[in-house]
Amino acid sequence: MHEIPMSEILGELRELSARRVLIQTPEGLKREAQELADFLEKNGIEVIISGDINYGACDPADREAKMLGCDALIHLGHSYMRLHLEVPTIFVPAFARIDVIPAIEKNLSEVRKLGQKIGLVTTVQHIHQLERVKSFLQEQGFTVLIGEGDGRISFRGQVLGCNFTTARVDADGILFIGAGYFHPIGVAISTRKPTLAINPYSGDAIWMNEEAERMIRKRWAQIAKAYDARKFGVVISTKKGQLRIAEARKIMKLLKEHDRKAMLIAMNYINYPALEGFDFDAYVVVACPRVPIDDYENWRKPVLTPPEVELLLGLREEYKFDEILGGKGEKAKAELKAYSIIIQS
Ligand code: SF4
């Protein structure tokens, strides 16, 4: 499914004079991680594979690598995220092999409904094809904009489940390429523009604005459930790229100013069963936005995002998707670094 650029990784490790490394992998790349470990060991590098499942570049195992005496961390599956890392870290994004053009070609009549000026976004799996898609759409007469985004992301046009800054371009509508609903719903809510998602695997095209409205209605139901809550647990994450302590303090202050009690809770893996024994009426997750939005059905207490607390307290009127924003700068360098270990399709 994916090709790991083993020789390039070995070259990077040799440049770092690394003798022991930790490999961290998402669920879908476990076999590739094992093959890479085998290859590196044959080349004289001691390897430890992390058995913890990883969900994003926001959770690098650099602390664990340091604790284990490793000289470097190899983070498989996700692109570079600017964080203060304790050991040199090689990010190896996984790019899908599937050609996305046929699915776009099949749905050109739907794409035309977006308007003439299109914003183009995707997840890291298809990012290496974005320029090809742009040229293809330009040949069909569209003006195509690919947003720069902020410093949290590596590539122009890339969206994360917590960052849609590349979608905020001066376009008539946004075309998302990729599978799954979470990212394009986020794009639709954060841009308020017509958003079409084309799935390169199924070939389907789905308009996301109705899906987004449906999700917003569900979120309002969560907010309504929290109306009578007096005691709030404000949950922050100890994962490096999800830690939003200043924002959590701001939420605590707002809740207290509105006669609610609030207490900070720090967790690594945020899940309701671990919170079950606490006496809180509701929770606010100031970490990965996917936790309260994707997982709320598994919580027996209402669970909100920070912008939803503002809605609850009457400080905001329009629904806002929770995003984690990055700073500016250093992106060009990050892009180069990530491309140096690109997985070719
Ligand atoms: S915070 Fe959540 S959405 Fe953002 S990169 Fe991490 S896992 Fe993905």
pLDDT in tens, 62-116: 999 999 999 999 999 998 888 889 999 999 988 888 999 999 999 999 999 999 9
209-225 and 182-191 are packed helices; what angle lies between their axes, rounded to 10 degrees?
A: 90
pLDDT score, position 329: 54
* Sign of the CA dihedral running 333, 334, 335, 340: positive
| pLDDT, mean of residues 37-55 | 96
Q: Which CATH superfamily is domain 217-312 in?
A: Diphthamide synthesis DPH1/DPH2 domain 3 (3.40.50.11860)
DSSP conformational letter for 95: P
Is pLDDT above 90 for 335?
Answer: no
DSSP conformational letter for 114: T
Is pLDDT above 50 for 336?
Answer: no
User: 205-215, pLDDT tens digit by residue?
Assistant: 999 999 999 99
Q: Report which of 216, 211, 209 is spatially closest to residue 305, judged by C-alpha positions.
A: 216
User: 226-263, pLDDT tens digit by residue?
Assistant: 999 999 999 999 999 999 999 999 999 999 999 999 99
More confident residue, 221 or 336: 221
> What residues flank ligand 1, with Cβ below 6 Å?
55-56, 58, 160-162, 241-242, 288, 290, 324
Residue 336 CA, distance from chain mean position: 20
- Cβ distance 194 to 209 under 8 Å? yes
CATH class of 101-208: alpha beta
**Element containing residue 138 per DSSP (H, E):** helix 130-139
Residue nearest to atom 7 of ligand 1 (CA): 56
pLDDT score, position 338: 47
| Ligand 1 center from residue 298 Cα (angstroms) | 19
Is pLDDT above 70 for 298?
Answer: yes
Residue nearest to atom 3 of ligand 1 (CA): 161
Point out which residues pair with 262 in neighbouring strands. Answer: 232
- Cβ distance 176 to 140 under 8 Å? no
| Ligand 1 center from residue 140 Cα (angstroms) | 34
Q: Report which of 161, 34, 177, 4 is spatially closest to residue 98, judged by C-alpha positions.
A: 177
Q: Would you tell me which CATH number, out of the four given (3.90.1150.10, 3.40.50.11840, 3.40.1710.10, 3.30.70.2860), belongs to the domain 6-94?
A: 3.40.50.11840
pTM of the model: 0.92
Ligand 1 mutation target, pool 52, 165, 242, most atoms within 8 A of CB:
242
| Ligand 1 center from residue 62 Cα (angstroms) | 17
* Max Cα distance, the chain (Å): 62
pLDDT score, position 1: 61
Residue nearest to atom 1 of ligand 1 (CA): 288
Q: Report which of 161, 78, 81, 172 is spatially closest to residue 120, judged by C-alpha positions.
A: 172
The reply to whether domains 6-94 and 217-312 share a CATH topology is: yes
- Given the DSSP bridges, would you call strands 231-237 and 282-286 parallel, antiparallel or unpaired? parallel
pLDDT score, position 80: 87
Looking at residue 10, its amino acid is: L
pLDDT score, position 103: 98
User: Rounded to an integer, what distance in angstroms lies between the CA atom of residue 303 and that of residue 293?
Assistant: 8
The full set of domain ranges for the chain reads 6-94, 101-208, 217-312
Q: Report which of 148, 60, 28, 128 is spatially closest to residue 338, judged by C-alpha positions.
A: 128
Residue nearest to atom 2 of ligand 1 (CA): 288
